[in-house]
Structure 1
């Protein structure tokens, strides 16, 4: 394949999904698959990486996470437009009276609010979360708990309105070849770090 690509910052996560739905961008790299997203995105069913969703708390918080039920009574910060694994979304929905949810605009703000005590729990990708905590200078204020909340696969998805939808099969072949060479994780790490540099060290 010889398709020129460009990685661009288009705004917060809800906007990314919105413009992908409209076909204003061609695809999204690193996105969970769910029924709603499949309406406007064609997922290449070759998992890029297995992503762990973990609990972050303010350092020194005596909270112990043992199971999803441990979250009852907590105030959970969630990025606006973000979605968890569907089974976990159902759990949160069925315990709305016991788990308070605060919707927050940016990932950086999410962790700043956690460090300041305005929320007491964040559940996020350990890979992205650790990067944001590092760039925000919060490593001495926030800690990650074990065990993980769940793990799920990240995919590459093409907007159903993109002209590149016709190249789907070739893209899938190329992804498979790249994954077979174990290049994906190093590429994800490299591009995530480059992304933060482009943003001037600031997460969205």
Structure 2
């Protein structure tokens, strides 16, 4: 009787192991679906139903090296991208700030993707001295809806500054040049890329001192089976950044953005 019971226990344990192994195999990473902010050039932006840009180019380099199939997916506004990652509907979010609330559902790479200096943009002719955050007090500014610029500065904005969050680069820069705001804070490269194509470059100045000089990371959804790729991403992100290749891709994508959004020249009839 005791022997039969032990055999049944052993059989059940073996069965559980087989089921667990089958589930693990089923959950293996077979394809990486990635997305990003749809309007943050030259790091990334939406073209049709895809996300393109420097961060996408880097992700493709790494995934091609791994021989891993992938899909660049445009899912909509930035908040929806993060919600999709939280649900596990996308595996990888490209080039975003590592902040505490996002760590609840995202696993960030240890190695940064690239620097993301954050600048103060002002109307031409209305420059002011900016050496520290307190120099922004007493002025009305804007921030891009959903953008985060580091835990310390985010708290300072919330508690000390008169700032309105506006959706999209176009809305923020229009408020600036129409003098409905005194300053707009966004990524230096992103602001530069937008001004190259908007016709507003001559109407906007960039203050010389940055708000911050932080970095941005890639992040896997905590529910993604592709978390197993993290160590390779860490290794290659570091190598590509230190070799200068990531910086070159960033500059190339500023030009790509400019060409993509420049109106075609009219042909003489």
TM-score with structure 2 length normalisation?
0.67
Q: Does structure 1 residue 71 correspond to structure 2 residue 136?
A: yes
> Considering only aligned residues, what root-mean-square deviation do their CA atoms show, in Å?
2.2
Tell me, yes or no, if the aligned pair for 1:55 and 1:145 is still in contact at 8 Å.
Answer: yes
Contact 1:21 1:41 in 2 (8 A): yes
Change (3 A) 1:60 1:155: same
Between the aligned partners of 1:125 and 1:27, the Cα distance in structure 2 is 21
1:51-82 deviations in Å (ceiling 9; x for gaps)? 21111001010422222111111111111221
Range with bigger deviation, 15-24 or 43-52: 15-24
Q: After TM superposition, give the deviation of residue 45 of structure 1 in Å.
A: 0.9
Report SS of the residue matched to 1:65: coil
Distance change (3 Å), C-alpha of 1:124 and 1:168? same
Q: Aligned to 1:109, which of 171, 175, 180?
A: 171
Instruction: Please name the residue that 2:181 is paired with.
Output: 119
Q: When you count strand as a share of all residues, which structure comes out higher?
A: 1
Contact 1:52-1:151 within 8 A present in 2 as well = yes
* DSSP 3-state at the match of 2:109: strand
Question: Whole-Å Cα distance in 1 between the matches of residues 166 and 239 of structure 2?
Answer: 38
Distance in 2, Cα, partners of 1:195 & 1:132: 8
Task: Please report how far the alpha carbon of residue 183 of structure 1 lies from its aligned counterpart in structure 2 after TM superposition.
Answer: 1.1
Q: Distance in 2 between matches of 1:52 and 1:39?
A: 25
Contact 2:119–2:206 (CA under 8 A) maintained in structure 1: yes
Out of 84, 93, 97, which is 1:19 matched to? Answer: 84
Which structure: greater helix fraction? 2
Matched-pair contact (CA < 8 Å) for 1:52–1:125: yes
Alpha-carbon distance in structure 2 between the residues aligned to 1:27 and 1:38: 13
The alpha carbon displacement at 1:160 in A equals 1.4
1:179-201 Cα shifts (integer Å, max 9, x gaps): 34321112233345546766x56
For the pair 1:129 / 2:180, whether they are aligned, the reply is: no
| TM-score calculated relative to the size of structure 1 | 0.86
| 1-structure distance, mates of 2:67, 2:257 | 23
Q: Answer with 1 or 2: which has the greater Rg.
A: 2
Choose from 104, 120, 125 the match for 1:55.
Answer: 120
Per the TM alignment, residue 115 of structure 1 is displaced from its structure 2 partner at its CA by: 1.3
Secondary structure of 1:149's partner?
coil
Give me the whole-angstrom Cα distance separating, in 1, the residues matched to 2:225 and 2:138.
47
> RCO (CA 8 Å, sep 6+): is it higher in 1 or 2?
1
Please state how far the C-alpha of 1:8 moved relative to its aligned partner: 3.6
